[in-house]
Amino acid sequence: MTAQTQIGTSAVAGADARSAAGILAGAANKMDAKQVKVYYGAKQALKGIDLAIPERQVTALIGPSGCGKSTFLRCLNRMNDTIGIARIEGLITLDGQDIYDREIDPVQLRARVGMVFQKPNPFPKSIYDNVSYGPRIHGLASRREEMDEIVARSLQRAGLWNEVKDRLKEPGTGLSGGQQQRLCIARAIAVSPEVILMDEPCSALDPIATAHVEELIDELRENYTIVIVTHNMQQAARVSQRTAFFHLGDMVEVGDTEEIFTNPRDERTQGYITGRYG
């Protein structure tokens, strides 16, 4: 990252920086973004985002279409590296370590910072193979029984085990949309990530499947740090403890979700959450 030296090591910042970022006392920051700017060619999509991601909480990113939420999310596990014209400046740390450091292998990083996409995207493989794929390439199981154990545990954690335990050899693509999304969550969990990024994970799901995934997100935060992009304000209010409001490439404000929804400081946030625009 080019701007790293100017910015210095912020890492898991001290109490002052933490309170400046609005983080509750006592909650450690799992990730920290300082002055993150993203350009797609000549177009600037993020204008210098400062945002701390507290550990074992759900942080929701909200804001009107095109404001840069997905771009920011993709910075957190270097998915933007795969977009040729994307250029990133600033500093992002995971447990205090610069994730854009030359020493960091993006594949290993993405095992620690997993991602669930908007449209469920199971591989054209069996349910079992969908979940075992990551552990296999990362060498997490040496024997078949160990892999069976990882697959079962991941599907249980994703709330899907009871529905699929008798059909693990069937294709993942044969499941319903909501089940496919939980399969993708199981696949993300299988490599034991520390952070899970979710980009509008319920937008392709019906209300019942959405409720299922929301319950799951609530359970997962016991063990994982979660960042979710959502257009659904009720969803942000239901599942997250922290909410950050993005607007035209800026992060306008961040705070406790309840505070953001009941007492926003900035009139742009207020306009958005009351439906005046977006």
Ligand X SMILES: Nc1ncnc2c1ncn2[C@@H]1O[C@H](COP(=O)(O)OP(=O)(O)OP(=O)(O)O)[C@@H](O)[C@H]1O
* Residues at the interface with ligand X (CB under 6 A): 40, 45, 63, 65-71, 83, 85
> Which lies closer to ligand X via its Cβ, residue 68 or residue 172?
68
Q: How far is CA 77 from the centre of its chain?
A: 9
CB of 68 to ligand X, least distance (A): 4
> Which lies closer to ligand X via its Cβ, residue 111 or residue 226?
226
Record the tokens describing residue 4, joined without a space: 């790293």
> Which lies closer to ligand X via its Cβ, residue 63 or residue 193?
63
Residue labelled with tokens 């596990």: 77
Residue labelled with tokens 């009351």: 274
In single-letter form, the type of residue at position 203 comes to: S
CB of 233 to ligand X, least distance (A): 13
CB of 119 to ligand X, least distance (A): 12
Record the tokens describing residue 185, joined without a space: 């969550």
Residues 6+ apart with CB under 8 A from 123: 129, 130, 133, 172
CB of 38 to ligand X, least distance (A): 8
> Which lies closer to ligand X via its Cβ, residue 53 or residue 160?
53
Residues 6+ apart with CB under 8 A from 90: 1, 3, 4, 7, 33, 34, 35, 36, 37, 48, 49
Measured distance CA(230)–CA(20) in Å, rounded: 25
> Which lies closer to ligand X via its Cβ, residue 164 or residue 260?
260
CB of 253 to ligand X, least distance (A): 16
> Which lies closer to ligand X via its Cβ, residue 85 or residue 107?
85
CB of 197 to ligand X, least distance (A): 12
> Which lies closer to ligand X via its Cβ, residue 67 or residue 239?
67
CB of 218 to ligand X, least distance (A): 23
Distances (CA, A) of 178 to 74, 78, 205: 23, 27, 6
In single-letter form, the type of residue at position 89 comes to: E
CB of 231 to ligand X, least distance (A): 6
Give the β-pairing of 195-199 and 29-40.
Answer: unpaired
Q: With H, G, I as helix, E, B as strand and everything else as coil, classify residue 273.
A: helix
> Which lies closer to ligand X via its Cβ, residue 128 or residue 246?
246
Residue labelled with tokens 């959405």: 210
Measured distance CA(256)–CA(240) in Å, rounded: 9
Is there a contact between 11 and 41 (Cβ–Cβ < 8 Å)? Answer: no
